[in-house]
Amino acid sequence: MNLLSRSLEIEPFPGFDARQRARFSERAEFVIGLDRVSWDVLLSALPPELSLELEEMEAAPSLEAGEAIVARIDAWRRERVDSESSEGTEPDGLWIVYRPGRSLGTGVAEIASRGFFDVDDRPPLALWIEAIARRCLPNGLGSGRPAFEISVLSYVPRHYAQAALRGCRACDSGALILLEDFSAPLAVEIQGLCD
C-alpha cells in the first residue's frame, strides 16, 4: 500500500499545460463521441497486457508511468474502434479520478458497481484519458524532497454512470472520486475544453 502520509501538505492540482491540454482535448473528443456499440466493444475487450506496469504504478506511482500507460491505452482504443462511430454526442457522462496507490484491495467498489471497477478500485482501462500529478510537500519528515501524487482522469459514458457512482460512493479509501469533488478548478477547465 502506498497511502499518502498525513504529514504532507498538498498543493492544488495545476491546470493543464499546453501539451497536456492538446493531448487531453484530442483524447476526450474521441472517446466522448463514441457510440454505445463502440463502448460495449471496448469494455468487453482487454487492452494490451499491462499488469506489470499497473502493479508498478500502484507500488510507486509516477507521472511518467501513468502517461505511458494512458498512451498505450489510447493507441489500443483507436485501433479497436473506428472514429466514424461517433454519435456527435454532448459530454453528458461523468469524469472520475482514479488515485493509484490508495486502494485497500477490498473490492468494495467492485461489488458496489457490480464489476464496473476492479478489486483494486481501478476504472476500466478503456476509460483512462489523462495522467496528472501534483506536488506534495513533506512537512518536517524525511529528506524534504518533494513527493508527487499521481491521478488518472477517466471518462464514464452516461450508460455506465450509475454503476460508476455506486462504486465511487462505496470506495472509502480515496482511490476513486468524482472530478468535481476532487478539483473544482480542473473540472471547470475540462468542462470548457469539452463543450
pLDDT tens digits, 137-183: 555 455 555 577 899 999 999 999 999 999 999 999 999 999 999 88
Instruction: Give tens-digit pLDDT for 3-52.
Output: 444 444 456 677 888 999 999 999 999 999 888 888 888 888 878 788 88
Instruction: Give tens-digit pLDDT for 69-80.
Output: 999 999 999 998
Can you give the pLDDT at residue 6? Answer: 43
Can you give the pLDDT at residue 149? Answer: 85
For the whole model, what pTM was predicted? Answer: 0.85
Q: 1 in a domain, yes or no?
A: no
Q: 2 in a domain, yes or no?
A: no
Residue 68 — very low, low, confident or very high, per pLDDT cuts 50/70/90?
very high
| CA separation for the pair 32, 124 (Å, rounded) | 15
Can you give the pLDDT at residue 145? Answer: 55
Can you give the pLDDT at residue 127? Answer: 94
Residue whose C-alpha cell is 463502448: 39
Q: 28 in a domain, yes or no?
A: yes
DSSP state of 86: B
Can you give the pLDDT at residue 87? Answer: 53
Q: Average pLDDT of 108-121?
A: 94
Enclosing domain of residue 174:
8-194
Q: 3 in a domain, yes or no?
A: no
| CA separation for the pair 142, 35 (Å, rounded) | 49
Task: Dig out the grid coordinates for 18 from the structure.
Answer: 499546453
Of residues 109, 114, 123, 126, the one with CA closest to residue 43: 126
| CA separation for the pair 23, 14 (Å, rounded) | 16
Q: Average pLDDT of 105-116?
A: 94
Q: 112 in a domain, yes or no?
A: yes
Do you know the residue count of the chain? Answer: 195
Q: What domain count does the chain have?
A: 1
